[in-house]
Structure formats: structure tokens, C-alpha cells
Structure 1
Amino acid sequence: MKKIFVNIGFGILGLILVLLIVGTIYENLGRRSAAQNFPPPGKLVDIGGRHIQLDCRGSGSPTVVFQSGQDMAGSLSWSAVHDEIAKATRACAYSRAGIMWSAPHDAPALAKSIAEDLHAALKNANEKGPLVLVGHSLGGPYNMVYTKYFGAEVAGLVFVDTSHPDQLSRGRALEALESNSAPLERKSESNWSAFLEKSGAALNWTGIVRFLAAMEEKEGNRTESNDQAEKAYASTSFSSFLKEEDALEQTLNEAGTFRHLGDRPIAVLTAVQPVPKQELSKFDKALKENGSWMQKDQAKWSSQSQHQLVQDTGHYIQLDRPAVVIDAVRSVISKVRAK
């Protein structure tokens, strides 16, 4: 009987070893295939020992710069609107350090470092201001930090369902007021999710991240080609994605130190997903109201602003309702040119 259990143990170990070898080969082949099948759009700009992928199209002034949210799509997040804006002016989308085709950075993904990377990439690529910064989700705070340090270049901004500097602190305050067990459940789910992400990063070399990315359905109406490209680079983007997540609170705190845009024209687009009120818990209703307040607050950061509620869309308005984003960007461009 003892011999049987020993043989079973060796069999399991052997199976694990085979899976690790196969996974490693799968990952290496996947990385090679990604480089061959999905070359970077635009160019790779040297910023001093590292390169940043920058895709600029069209001509004219101001130059529109697209900042993606906290995801692994990089410049591809703007594929549905990029060309249309490029018909009106110079339009640049890029991928942050370690995302898609851009080289990773050893330092933490602090918002100031991200702003400096973008500034260096634009300067070294000889892209001129004035700039109109268009940000989605966490791209909003990143653009505010860029404006804080390089404000002389920034003439206008567009916020596409963006994060708010106070969203973590206000969310925690709401949870503290909640008396039932839901916050504990949410905290437990969050801790478990963080554990899985860290485990995935540690085992990235086994192909597990690539495999899971291939199985995932992405949010927003992405083209098949862009979806395949994002999944092909998922394993190389994943570590930088987690670094941005780890720095999230610092990013929001940094963005919170700069909320005054003067008379720069801005547009704030807020996604509205209709949900019957009876289906929302008391806590979810409070969260929704809190989110609405934060979006309205962003529109107060400039004396020349417009705020639009975008119906029937997911968080990725630029993919679900690209015409709305295109109109908002064009509107800000016109106001910048008129000044």
C-alpha cells in the first residue's frame, strides 16, 4: 500500500514537471509569435535607455494625446477614435512603460514618473504642443498630474469616465457606514483577487497569464485584431499593470493636489448604465450617487467646461460610443483654437 502512494506521489510530481515544461515552451513561443504578428503601431521612442511606443497620426494643432486607463491595451484603447481625430489635427496614442510594446521601468509606477515618460517621448519624437489630453478611467488622474508638472503645454482636457482623486477615500467612508456584512465580503474578495494576481505574476513564466488572458472576454467593443494583440502581450504587460495597481492610492493622492485648470476648455463624459433601482442595494445606490458627485465635481475644475451623461454604454465609452468621444474632443479642439 505504501508503495502505491509513493508511486502516485511521483506520478503527480512528474505530471507537474511536464506541465511546467510545456507551459514554459508555450510562453516562449507566445512571446515570439506576438513580436512577429503584432508589431508596434507608430514608433518606439528612445527616452534614455528605454523606449516608449508612440503612435502619432494626422497633422495640425493642437496635438491630441490619448491616455489609456489602468488596463493592458495601451494605445489600442483608442483605436475606434484615433483616426477620426487625426483627420482634424495631430493625434497621438501611446503605451505606458511595460504595457504592450513599451519597455518596462524598474521603478514604481508613480504618476509623476509616468508624466515624465510621456513628456520625454513627445519631446524626443519632436511632437509639439499645445496639447489636448484625453484620458479614460485612471488616465484622467494621470493627465491631471501631467498638467501639474507640464501645464504650460496643456491647453485642454477630455475626461472619459475617469477616476476621481477622492474615489478611494470616499469609497472607504461609505463602507465604514455600512452596518451589514457586505464590506467584509468585499474586503475578502479583494484580498483573494490580490493574492491571485500576485500568484499569477510569480508564475508568469509558466504561461498561466497568457492562457487565462486568451480565455478572457474583454470589456468594450474591441476589434478582433486589437483583442488578439492585447492578449498576445498580456503576459509581458501584466507586471506593469500590477505596478500601476500597487501605486493607485499614490496616483490618486498626487492627482488630488492639482484640481484647478483655470479657463482651459474641458469635457467630462460620464457613462450611464441604466439599472432598475429595485435591483440596487442601499450600499450600491450610495456608491452610484457618490460616483455621480465625483463626475460632476470634475466639471468644476475649469471655468470653461461641459459635462455629458452618456447613456447605454459601458465604462469604455470610446469603444462603445466612439462618436460621443470624437465629438467631445473636437469640441475642445475648436475651443482651444478659438482662444
Structure 2
Amino acid sequence: MRIVLAGAVCLAVAVLAGVVYEQLGRYRAMRDFPPPGRMIDVGGGRRIQLDCRGSGSPTVVFEAGLSIDGSLSWAPVQPQVAAHTRACSYSRAGLMWSDPSDAPYSARQVAQDLHTALARAGERGPYVLVSQSMGGLYAMNFTQHFGDEVAGLVLVDPSHPDQVARVAAFMVETRSLQSRIGVALAWSGLLRAAASALLSQAPHQTAHDAQAVRAFAPKSMRTQLMEGDAMDDTLAETRGFRSLGNRPLVVLTAMAPYTEAELRGMKITPAQGTQVQAIWKQMHAEMAGWSSRSVHRLLPNAGHDIQFDDPQAVIDAVLSVVTTVRSDQGAAPH
């Protein structure tokens, strides 16, 4: 009985220490990494972090992919774009500084949050939407519902509404049990401790930004897991909208061969990886066809996170669309 009691006491002390570590980590995250830009009230007691810089029209709006970086996904790109026009990045509900939402998750809700945040911050269209990976689905959904305000788009290695069906012969999507356990035990400090060891600094990412992402990881990873679980619904929501009219569009496709780690994560062989990449390229060619004025660019040295691997390619694509929109509207930079 004494051994059992001693073990129980040790366990309780360890759990308490973990809880204190996690609460202290949350306090330090807010103290050491204040939100860039502003926190915008979008109603229901929620705030969305919105970082707008520069001046000029059209306003570029960045939408992150399925990641935990939030607005920091675009840190290597936004300042250079903001030197030429207004540029806004933001963190979706539950990512980084933004408050989570109690509303049922949907791409429509994501679009509504962004639209409300922009409007209440005093930002006005026309907008050029720049999105990466799954963010491409959100950008298409935003265009579907608020199309009058969208003048052009840049899709950075975007998700395709039919991607799951198209690659089903090569790979089956799985959800990491370890990730679920980590998120479920975030209150204990275990996820925070693991994030410090597992999350590496990306190319063209500052040490400060990498530290900020780690500091908010226990919160952001919960949202990331939820967004991943809703992937099929998000794909379905955007499947029926594929017409961008004559809006200028640039589609960027990452063509660097998959790394060994990526192949292991997808559970495919190098040969299968080559086939999957060919399908990915074809889907992006189809997406370029969604606009009558589009450019499809292949980037042989960039991986999926093109904004980190080759930020200049993204900057050039964005500014090309900005220039076209200005020409269409007869608007000079101001």
C-alpha cells in the first residue's frame, strides 16, 4: 500500500507540474510573441488576428494552408508585396492568436470570418487572394460567396477538389494517432515539450517566427487536426465552383521530387511518388483552366511550401496579378 500510495503521489506531482508548465507556456507565448497587426472583433466574443501592411490597390489577402503557422505562413512574402500594395495576412479561428470558434466548422464559415474581419478592420476590395495548399479551397469558397470583391487569385501548390479520389490508387489518407493523443493531452504540457523538439525552422523563416509557432503549437495543432478531419467536407464544399471567369490567375506547382520523409509520410514508393506528382501537375493544369486569363508555372526546385522554399516565385506571381488588376481598372499605384 505504501508503494502504491507513493506512486500515486509521484504521479499527481508530475501531472501538476505538467499543468503548471503548460499554463506558464501559454502566458509566456502571449507575453513574448504579441500578435502582429490587430485583433479584430468578428462577433460572438471572438477575435481574429489580422496583419495589414502597406498601401495601394488592389489589396492582397493571404490565406494559409493546413498548417499551424497562421499569418506567419506568409512572413517571407508579405513584406515584399506590401512594398508595392496593401497586403493582409491573418490567422484562421483557433490558429496562433485567433480565438477558436464554437460554430460548426466549414469552408463557408472560414470565408465569413475572413470577410467580417476585413470589413470590420476597414479593409476594402478589390482583393487579390493568395492561398497555399488547402487554403486554395478556402480562397475558391471566398470567391464563390464574395466574388464581387475578388479581382484575381494566386494559388500556391493548391489542393484540388478531386484530389483524394485522383490519388486513391496510390495512397490512403490516414490520421496520426500520435497527433490525436498529443492534442488530447495538451493540457498536461506534453505537446508543448514535444513541439520544441519536433518543429524545425523552415527555410527563409526567422528564428523569432519559428519560436512563436512553437509557443502556440498546443493551441494551433488542435485546430489543424480539426481542419484535417473536415478535409472531405471542405473538398465537397468547393467541388461545384470552378469558374473564375476572366480574373487573372496564377497557379504555382511544386515539382521538387518528394523527400524520403515525405514518401514515408504518404506511405508510397519513389516510383509511386513520381506518379502522384504527375497527377498533381495535371490537376493544377486543370485549375489554371478555371480562368480565361491564367498562367501555370512549374517550380522544379520547390517543395509543397513554396512560400518558404522559393518566396521570390510567389512574390513575382502576386505582383504580376496586381499589375494586371491595376491595368484592368485603370488604377495607378497610390
TM-score w.r.t. length of structure 1: 0.89
Aligned to 2:154, what secondary structure does the other structure show? strand
Which amino acid counterpart does residue 29 of structure 1 have in structure 2? L
Please name the residue that 2:27 is paired with. 32
Alpha-carbon spacing, 1:103–1:15, altered in 2? closer, same or farther (3 Å): same
1:330 is displaced (CA, Å) by 0.3
The whole-number CA distance in structure 2 between the counterparts of 1:275 and 1:74 is 24
1:20 is displaced (CA, Å) by 1.0
- Equivalent residues of 1:108, 1:243 under 8 A apart: no
Q: 1:293 aligns with which of 270, 276, 282?
A: 282
The whole-number CA distance in structure 2 between the counterparts of 1:76 and 1:281 is 31
1:242 is displaced (CA, Å) by 1.6
The whole-number CA distance in structure 2 between the counterparts of 1:95 and 1:139 is 12
- After TM superposition, which residue ranges in structure 1, 4 or more long, deviate above 6 angstroms? none
Alpha-carbon spacing, 1:294–1:7, altered in 2? closer, same or farther (3 Å): farther
Identity of aligned residues (%): 47
Please name the residue that 1:137 is paired with. 133
Please name the residue that 2:68 is paired with. 72
User: CA deviation digits over 1:85-104, x for unaligned, max 9?
Assistant: 01111000000001011110
Which amino acid counterpart does residue 251 of structure 1 have in structure 2? T
User: CA deviation digits over 1:110-139, x for unaligned, max 9?
Assistant: 100000000000000010100000001111
Q: 2:250 aligns with which of 267, 284, 287?
A: 267
Match status 1:305 vs 2:294: yes
**How large is the RMSD of aligned CA atoms in angstroms?**
1.8
1:105 is displaced (CA, Å) by 0.1
Please name the residue that 1:226 is paired with. 209
Please name the residue that 2:152 is paired with. 156
1:10 is displaced (CA, Å) by 4.3
The whole-number CA distance in structure 2 between the counterparts of 1:275 and 1:63 is 34
Aligned to 2:294, what secondary structure does the other structure show? strand
- Answer with 1 or 2: which has the greater Rg: 1
Which amino acid counterpart does residue 58 of structure 1 have in structure 2? G
Aligned to 1:267, what secondary structure does the other structure show? strand
How is 1:313-324 mapped onto 2 (pairs within 5 angstroms)? 313-324=302-313
Please name the residue that 1:217 is paired with. 199
The whole-number CA distance in structure 2 between the counterparts of 1:70 and 1:282 is 26
Match status 1:255 vs 2:249: no
1:284 is displaced (CA, Å) by 2.8
Please name the residue that 2:183 is paired with. 201
The whole-number CA distance in structure 1 between the counterparts of 2:319 and 2:270 is 39
User: CA deviation digits over 1:4-46, x for unaligned, max 9?
Assistant: xx55544543333222111101100000001110000000001
- Equivalent residues of 1:214, 1:231 under 8 A apart: yes
Please name the residue that 1:178 is paired with. none
The whole-number CA distance in structure 1 between the counterparts of 2:144 and 2:195 is 35
Match status 1:244 vs 2:244: no
Which runs of no fewer than 5 residues in structure 1 stay unpaired?
A: 1-5, 176-182
Alpha-carbon spacing, 1:305–1:27, altered in 2? closer, same or farther (3 Å): same
Which amino acid counterpart does residue 317 of structure 1 have in structure 2? I
The whole-number CA distance in structure 2 between the counterparts of 1:76 and 1:17 is 37
Give the helix-richer structure, 1 or 2. 1
User: CA deviation digits over 1:238-270, x for unaligned, max 9?
Assistant: 222222112111111111111110100000111
Aligned to 1:249, what secondary structure does the other structure show? helix
User: CA deviation digits over 1:145-164, x for unaligned, max 9?
Assistant: 00000000000000111111
The number of aligned residues is 318
